[in-house]
Amino acid sequence: MTKKILIVTTNFSEINEDIHTGVWLEEFAVPFLTFTATGYDVVVSSPLGGVSPIDDNSLSCSNPMEWDDAAKYLKNTIKLSDVAYESFDALYIPGGHGPMFDLAIDETLKNVVEYMYNNNKLISAVCHGPAGLIQAKDKNGDSILKNRRITAFTNKEEHIVKMTEFMPFSLEDKIKELGAVFVEDKPWSEHVEVSRNIITGQNQNSALLAAEKIIFFLS
């Protein structure tokens, strides 16, 4: 049977009138294209459905044209509460700063993550995507991240892009508070951690490697 991957993206777009955000295009497009090229059935969803905004900072004339084709799927995402998530083999959450504001607190996503985790399905996220995992608990009431090797966008990287003061919390610190073993490499390194059925990537440069690890896991 064809493997099914559920991608959950942010709907959040405006931190303030001067700072706009959303999903980081590379972190969505590269895995999306890798999954579809492998023959997987991919569904793109978001908490509200409809448009999942793209962070303008991730748009460049140097981006491959294929990314434009993938970006079209962000214009009309399926509302997450309308998705029959039980039928999927894996969950993938791309970053951008948007997830820090909506996916980190979304109750429906919490339920999806907990179902996937407690049924030994694959959970994966890149950069700020792991913000979508912080609410989820296992059957014992512990964080699903407890004692797992997890990576995400680091405090150092947040400082470099000068976004620390605009974030509702530190993702690195929150992951550590939940009992995870937070593993970081140098800023902008291609870095992925695999901890049983949780795969996480540090930043946008880790998106392809994360996608390849996901395919290996599902094969």
- The whole-angstrom separation of Cα 168 and Cα 103 is 12
pLDDT band at 71 (very low <50, low <70, confident <90, very high): very high
How far from 119 is each of 23, 85, 112, 125, CA to CA, in Å? 28, 12, 11, 18
123-150: average pLDDT: 98
- Token code pair at residue 85: 């998530």
Locate the domains of the chain by residue range: 4-218
**Residue linked to tokens 């073993």:** 181
pLDDT band at 61 (very low <50, low <70, confident <90, very high): confident
144-151: average pLDDT: 98
Q: Dump pLDDT digits (tens) for 163-200.
A: 999 999 999 999 999 999 999 999 999 999 999 999 99
- The whole-angstrom separation of Cα 136 and Cα 103 is 12
Could you tell me the fold of the domain covering 4-218? Rossmann fold (3.40.50)
What value does the mean pLDDT of the chain take? 97
- Token code pair at residue 204: 């946008």
